[in-house]
Chains A and B, each alone.
Chain A
Amino acid sequence: MERFFRFNAALEQICGVAAALCLFVFTIIVAIDVFFRQVIATPLLWPSEISVSLFVWSVLLGAAVCTRRNSHLVVEILPSLPTRIDWLLRLLVDLLCLIFALLVLWTGVKQAWAGISRYTPMMGYPLWPFLVALPAAAVPMVLFSIERLVRGSPPGSAGGATAGEEGSAA
């Protein structure tokens, strides 16, 4: 088990770095796009599909990181108590999160497989590297959800981190 946890810790690191890299690269791509259109007056066609795809990758990989950190947006209506029922409830939530990850993985693989011979509408790039983001990010989500189930939530923590700890975009 220890090895599985260590593997997951490394995987979380990789997902985080990859997601941040995606953010960095798509920011630069959009900058190049605007520069070419506004300054050089030669609009480029390739940036929009590539930048959106990197954005999708970054969101999904970031979401995988949040799964391990247990920082997804949760509404705290029920107070979390150090009781047995609360522990069972957390177990149920972790199980539901695992089902979510498996659903995304399963339907994502099917979608990517179906898209293997399809191309993007504008540039005609192969579509699968775009579609594969969903199942690719679902794999760490599944692993992280299993880890959470095995470990049980750390004592004292609620079903999710309080929203304030991580904040939100809005």
Chain B
Amino acid sequence: MSPILILFLSFFFLVILRVPIAHSLVLSSAFVIWLVGLSFDLIAQQMFHGLNSFTLLAVPFFLLAGQLLNVGLITDRLVRLAYAMVGWVRGGLAHINVVVSMIFAGMSGSSTADTAGVGAVMIPAMVKRGFDRRFTVAVTAASSTMGVIIPPSILMVIYGAAGGVSIGALFLAGAIPGMLIGLGQMAYCYYYAVQHDMAAEQRASLSEFWAALKAGFLPLLVPVIIIGGVLTGEFTATEAGMIACVYTVFLIFGIFRSAKWRSMPKVLTEAVVIYSQPLLAVAGAMVFGWLLAYFDAPAQVAELSGPVAKDPTLALLFICAVFIVLGTFMDGIPAIIIFMPIVQELVRTSGASDIHTGLVVVMTLALGLVTPPYGLCLLLASVIGNIKISEVMGQIVIFYALFLAIVLLIIFVPEIALFLPRLVMPQFVN
């Protein structure tokens, strides 16, 4: 049996036994290292090498930014703003849920922080207003997926760092598709509201609108700073994440005084515990990925996939299918690190755009956030909504189909993704 096959089989075997992903990656690698007689020193070397990267610091920063927005009740301000913007549409609260997630996505790079923050406010509000619990939880989970598609995005940072692709261009590529998803979800919410006879909220008066805008203005500068800074090249994505954190700290402790300094140690500890899980898996994935490259897996996959490796659209459909399966079972961050060499090989042989490919990978992995058994946003939303995941599935499937349709649209019409990057930073598109 080829070492590559043994590597994958032992990995999946361990994962099925419920060994943590990071541990499975290292243990299956260690097994193959022992089998073929390589040096075990590889383990520490590659784990250290994998973490020793400045770009990865963006993960804690964009996560911490999301946590801070929630602790400082900034999410409430965004809800108020969204209320004034779309509350008057039929099924008002559902639209507010989607719009708040869109804005939140522009401030934090994390979908789960989005579910936690927006869900805590919107799920009780929607249930109280008479929305079906299943629909409420589904909307909350599905709209959070925009967190990693609308810039900034932790997954795009990882993809850019692992694949040597411009993170700024990836961010730009995500903007239009992310908004398309938001609009698509709002269209379905409208249809649902008409079907179930859900009313609109009261239309905000001009003065109410003005007040909501004023309350939300300072937080809204966060996405402006992040995107502006990265696009002008003034600072890197990692630094933008830091600035988002520092600015949010300044807002919630200095200006709004909506959180207490005492809560800071808890926020920091919680953030570390959350980001150390996927990042330990990144360290493990480096060992695994090193072995894959050593045994020349990318070339073999490209060879095996025959005609798929020659045509950009076919290659993207193939990558999309593979990452749908991966996203269902594992975290997006290690999935990208492990399979990056294979994706790059397919990009090379098929001539697909690396930015277009990166966006498709990130979107497909975002889809995995709402599918069991490893759909983190769905899990979190159903915990907040106090409902079993199996009951939500009926509604989630609709959002899933909608999302998948948009991914396919983007695969077949690359311009949707590439229009903005081409316009602003043409030097990075091909």
Q: Enumerate chain A interface residues (CB-CB to B < 8 A).
A: 16-17, 19-24, 26-27, 30-31, 33-34, 38, 48, 51-53, 55-56, 58-63, 65-66, 69, 71-78, 80, 89-90, 92-93, 96-97, 99-100, 103-104, 106-108, 110-111, 130-131, 133-134, 158-160, 162-170
- Docked Cα-Cα span, A60 to B20, in Å, equals 15
Chain A residues whose CB sits within 8 angstroms of the CB of B44 once the complex forms: 104, 107-108, 110-111, 134
Q: List 17 A-B contacts (CB under 8 A).
A: A16-B272, A22-B272, A30-B61, A30-B239, A51-B54, A72-B21, A72-B23, A73-B330, A74-B18, A74-B19, A77-B18, A99-B27, A104-B47, A107-B43, A134-B47, A169-B112, A170-B376
Contact present for B51 and A56 (CB under 8 Å): yes
Given A59-B275, A110-B41, CB of A167 within 8 Å of CB of B376: yes
Rounded to whole Å, the gap between the CB of A63 and the closest CB of chain B is 4
Taking a contact as CB atoms under 8 Å apart, the answer to whether B18 and A160 are in contact is: yes
User: What are the 4 closest A-B residue pairs judged by CB atoms, nearest first?
Assistant: A62-B276, A164-B379, A159-B18, A72-B20
Residues in A with CB closer than 8 Å to B369 are: 170
For A97, the chain B residues whose CB sits under 8 A away are 19-20, 23
Q: Inside 8 A of B365's CB, which chain A residues have their CB?
A: 170
Closest to B380 in A: A164
A56 contact set on B, CB distance < 8 A: 48, 51-52
Question: Does B131 belong to the interface (CB within 8 Å)?
Answer: no
Tell me, in angstroms, the Cα distance from A108 to B26 when the chains sit together. 13
B408 within 8 A of A: no
Q: Which chain B residue has the least Cβ–Cβ distance from A111?
A: B44
- Cα-based distance from A14 to B26 in the complex (angstroms): 26
Q: Give the chain A neighbours of B19 by CB distance below 8 A.
A: 74, 93, 96-97, 159
In-complex Cβ contact of B373 among A48, A76, A108, A130 (8 A): A76
Stretch from B210-218, B263-271, B341-349, B416-424 that touches the partner:
B263-271
CA A23 – CA B23 in complex, angstroms? Answer: 24
Taking the nearest CB of chain A, how far is it from the CB of B9, in angstroms? 15
B14 at the interface (CB under 8 A from A): yes
- Chain B residue numbers with a CB within 8 Å of A110 are 41, 44
Interface segment out of the listed B181-189, B195-203, B278-286, B302-310? B278-286
Question: CB distance B280 to A158 under 8 Å?
Answer: no
B interface list, Cβ under 8 A from A: 14-23, 26-27, 30, 40-45, 47-48, 51-54, 56-57, 59-64, 110-113, 116, 148, 154-155, 234-235, 238-239, 242-243, 245-246, 265, 268-269, 271-281, 283, 329-333, 365, 369, 373-374, 376, 379-380, 382-383
- Please, how many angstroms separate the alpha-carbon atoms of A96 and B30 in the complex? 12
The answer to whether A168 and B376 have CB atoms under 8 Å apart is yes
Q: Are B280 and A24 in contact (CB under 8 A)?
A: no
Chain A residue numbers with a CB within 8 Å of B333 are 168-170
Contact check, B23 vs A167: say whether CB atoms are below 8 A apart. no
Residues from chain B with a CB closer than 8 A to the CB of A77 are 15-16, 18, 329, 373
* Contact call B279/A20, Cβ cutoff below 8 A: no
Please pick, from A78, A89, A159, A170, the residue contacting B331 in the complex, using a CB distance under 8 A: A170
Inter-subunit contact B60/A19 (CB<8 Å): no
Which residues of the other chain, A, contact B280 by a CB distance below 8 angstroms?
Answer: 59-60, 63, 66, 72
Q: Are A30 and B20 in contact (CB under 8 A)?
A: no
Instruction: Give the distance in Å from the alpha carbon of A16 to the alpha carbon of B99 in the complex.
Output: 35
- The 8 Å CB contact of A96, one of B14, B54, B380, B382, is B14
A73 touches B242 (CB 8 A): no
B327 and chain A: residue at smallest CB distance: A170
Asked if residues B273 and A62 are in contact (CB atoms below 8 Å), the reply is yes
B240–chain A nearest beta-carbon distance, Å: 9
Nearest B residue (CB) for A69: B273
- Please, which residues of chain A bring their CB within 8 A of the CB of B48? 56, 111, 131, 133-134
Q: Tell me if A73 and B20 are in contact (CB < 8 A).
A: yes
Contact B374 A104 (CB under 8 A): no
Partner of B274, one of A34, A61, A103, A168: A168
Question: Which B residues are in CB contact (< 8 Å) with A162?
Answer: 379
Bound-complex Cα distance A107 to B15 (A):
23
B155, B238, B271: the one within 8 Å of A23 (CB) = B271
CB distance from B110 to the nearest CB of A (A): 6
Q: Does A103 contact B40, Cβ atoms closer than 8 Å?
A: yes
Say yes or no: B51 contacts A55, CB within 8 Å: yes
A97-B21 Cα distance, complex, nearest whole Å: 11
> Which residues of the partner chain B approach A55 to less than 8 Å between Cβ atoms?
51, 56-57, 60
In the assembled complex, the CB of A102 is this many whole angstroms from the nearest CB of chain B, namely 10
B41 touches A107 (CB 8 A): yes
Q: Which residues of the other chain, A, contact B14 by a CB distance below 8 angstroms?
A: 96
* Contact of A38 with B234 in the complex, beta carbons under 8 Å: yes
| Contact among B47, B278, B374 with A75 in the assembled complex (CB-CB below 8 Å) | B374
